């Protein structure tokens, strides 16, 4: 069994699961569960739980494919974070969730069982929560700066259908089929778009009823877009990096009604390490403006030796040096390791990794690791503290402001 399902369908879960819910889940796949006597779920609870334990102890190959997909989906939301997302989506959609009032139903408040309950009882809420978790887990999106700030998304049947058609055509060109399901969610002043589409076809050998055969399947994948009208910035993740600009163009032309909105030459000139190079090895992050940040460590830095190629005359990287320090400051350690070098004088910073310690009221802070690689990458899990991390980068000069030429052009 896959690792995440082992965590989900463990012995404790089988001992406490509401057998009625499990019967409903398995009944959806009764035709493919020939070796499982589902009527046992209506009899002695001990025998029913033993049967479930033995069934889920087997390999994934023994499960119907659709059941496996559903178990994975429930497992992903069967956590404390997933439960909170489900509750928030239920509130947004006006679906009342009543707390359990008796001991027999208290188990349904446990995250895994609650996720299963929502999957069966309120599937629309469950699907919206699954989409929300997808964009929350986006860690290394491509970002695009629009021509101007304050351009609102226009969400109506026409623009939504236009974006779906454009996205489906792009996936088809990538040999991923034409299937395309789009979820739209507004949160914290941003529009989040989750696009479920097909992956490249995969051929595999399977065992079925003591026989083997070859099948071709197309698994599902997700592209994620997140747009802020306030800043005019779009994030695109979960799809081939080489084609994300096309997905951004599709969004601009349909949802914003602004073709080419993200197509400026400097649309991805977003991040810089120039302030670090100017300050040299003594650079430290200033974070006093945010009292909730306890500490900012620089844990890794790469410096590239830049020179001119004698044959082509072009500037290129001659060699690189990476320094890591998980306790103090990697810049200080690099100065110790490489005495005599000076940043900005034949040496250019390639990337910098920092660890931000957030005070959340506990003895131990919550840490977020951020990797800055100019000009276009700020890599970190964006489901928490994103605004504060971006403020930290901006206050320390690591985010490029919108180019004056573009701002003037937009004004005209």
DSSP strands (E only) in 276-397: 293-308, 315-324, 347-358, 366-373, 377-379
Its sign, for the CA torsion 233, 238, 241, 243, is negative
Whether the predicted pLDDT of 337 surpasses 60:
yes
Query: What was the pLDDT predicted at 251?
Result: 97
Task: Give residue 188's pLDDT.
Answer: 75
Whether the pLDDT of residue 290 is over 90: the answer is: yes
70 Cβ neighbours under 8 A, 6+ residues apart: 25, 28, 119
Q: What are the backbone dihedrals phi and psi of residue 28, each rounded to the nearest 5 degrees, phi first?
A: -65, -20
Q: Of 9-23, 130-144, 228-242, 251-265, which has the strongest mean pLDDT?
A: 251-265
What is residue 13's predicted lDDT score, i.e. its pLDDT? Answer: 73
Q: How confident is the model at residue 276 (pLDDT cuts 50, 70, 90)?
A: very high
Report field, pTM of the whole predicted structure over 0.95: no
**137-158 burial: b if 16+ Cβ within 10 Å, else e:** ebebbbbbbbbeeebebeeeee
Q: Is residue 47 very low, low, confident or very high in pLDDT (cuts 50, 70, 90)?
A: confident
Looking at the chain, how many residues does it have?
412
Interior/surface letters 264-277, b for 16+ CB within 10 angstroms, e for the rest = beebbebbbbbebb
Quick one: what percent of the chain has pLDDT higher than 90?
Answer: 39
Alpha-carbon distance of 244 to 242, in angstroms, equals 6
pLDDT of residue 162: 96
Task: Give the model's confidence band at 407: pLDDT under 50 very low, under 70 low, under 90 confident, else very high.
Answer: very low
Which 3 state secondary structure label does DSSP give 112?
helix
236, 142 Cβ separation under 8 angstroms: yes
Q: What is the pLDDT of residue 209?
A: 61
Token digits of residue 252: 């601009």
Task: Evaluate if residue 10 carries a pLDDT over 80.
Answer: no
């Amino acid at each position: 069994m896959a690792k995440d399902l082992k965590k989900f369908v463990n012995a404790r879960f089988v001992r406490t699961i509401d057998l009625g819910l499990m019967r409903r889940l398995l009944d959806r796949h009764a035709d493919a569960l020939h070796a499982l006597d589902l009527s046992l779920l209506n009899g002695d609870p001990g025998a029913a739980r033993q049967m479930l334990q033995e069934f889920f102890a087997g390999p994934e190959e023994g499960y119907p494919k659709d059941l496996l997909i559903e178990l994975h989906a429930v497992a992903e939301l069967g956590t404390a974070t997933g439960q909170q997302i489900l509750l928030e989506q239920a509130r947004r959609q006006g679906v009342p969730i009543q707390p359990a009032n008796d001991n027999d139903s208290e188990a349904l408040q446990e995250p895994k069982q609650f996720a299963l309950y929502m999957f069966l009882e309120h599937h629309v809420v469950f699907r919206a929560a699954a989409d929300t978790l997808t964009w929350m887990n986006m860690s290394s999106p491509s970002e695009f700066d629009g021509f101007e700030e304050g351009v609102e998304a226009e969400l109506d049947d026409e623009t939504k259908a236009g974006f779906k058609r454009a996205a489906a055509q792009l996936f088809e060109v990538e040999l991923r089929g034409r299937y395309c399901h789009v979820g739209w969610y507004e949160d914290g002043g941003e529009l989040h778009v989750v696009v479920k589409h097909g992956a490249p076809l995969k051929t595999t050998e399977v065992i079925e009823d003591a026989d083997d055969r070859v099948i071709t399947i197309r698994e599902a994948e997700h592209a994620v877009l997140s747009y802020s009208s306030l800043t005019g910035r779009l994030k695109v993740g979960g799809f081939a990096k080489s084609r994300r600009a096309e997905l951004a163009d599709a969004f601009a032309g349909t949802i914003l009604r602004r073709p080419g909105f993200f197509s400026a030459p400097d649309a991805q000139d977003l991040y810089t390490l120039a302030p670090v190079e100017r300050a040299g090895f003594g650079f430290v992050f200033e974070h006093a403006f945010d009292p909730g940040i306890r500490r900012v460590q620089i844990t890794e830095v790469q410096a590239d030796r830049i020179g001119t190629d004698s044959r082509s005359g072009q500037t290129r990287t001659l060699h690189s040096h990476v320094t890591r320090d998980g306790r103090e400051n990697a810049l200080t350690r690099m100065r110790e390791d490489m005495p005599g070098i000076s940043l900005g004088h034949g040496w250019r910073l390639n990337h910098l990794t920092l660890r931000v310690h957030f005070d959340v009221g506990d003895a131990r802070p919550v840490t977020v690791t951020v990797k800055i690689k100019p000009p276009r990458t700020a890599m970190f899990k964006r489901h928490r503290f994103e605004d504060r991390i971006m403020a930290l980068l901006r206050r320390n000069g690591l985010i490029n402001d919108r180019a004056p030429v573009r701002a003037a052009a937009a004004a005209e």
